[in-house]
Amino acid sequence: MFANFPNIVKVEVLPGYALRVKFRNGGWREIALEGFLARYKSVAALRDATLFVKSKVIDWGAAIGWPGGVSIGADTLWRLSQEQLTFGPEEFAAGRSAFRFPIRNAPMCWAWRSVPSKVTAAKA
């Protein structure tokens, strides 16, 4: 049942409020957390760099924790890492081929149509 849940093996702190996390089934991922820390009040304490560097794997790999009881779950970190993945030309081409038509032959969007040069208001 729990085989598909992300599980953290190791964590390393990187400059700029980022972590390098090793997931049991996903290898190493670098996760930028600056925006995440700015957005959520529950992890606002981690904006203190002296606290942020004290990260450790807790709850048998289910989360990363810091002193004071602040933690971020493995599932959240996995999702953030997925959102931050970069892709190259091969991945772009594979994604493009998933469509039924090539992008260069895509139907024109209505917003691309020409706009009339003269607009008249209706009289009341």
CA atoms of 61 and 74, how far apart (whole Å): 7
pLDDT in tens, 83-121: 998 877 777 777 767 665 555 555 555 454 555 556 566
Question: What separation in angstroms does the CA of 8 have from each of 11, 19, 60, 66, 68?
Answer: 8, 12, 8, 15, 20
The domain of 77 spans 8-83
- Establish if 102 belongs to a structural domain: no
pTM: 0.70
Q: Provide the pLDDT for residue 91.
A: 74
Name which of 7-16, 42-51, 54-63, 111-120 the model is least confident about: 111-120
- Establish if 118 belongs to a structural domain: no
Look up the CATH number of the domain holding residue 45: 3.30.2020.10
Using the 8-state DSSP alphabet, how is residue 23 labeled?
Answer: E
- Establish if 69 belongs to a structural domain: yes
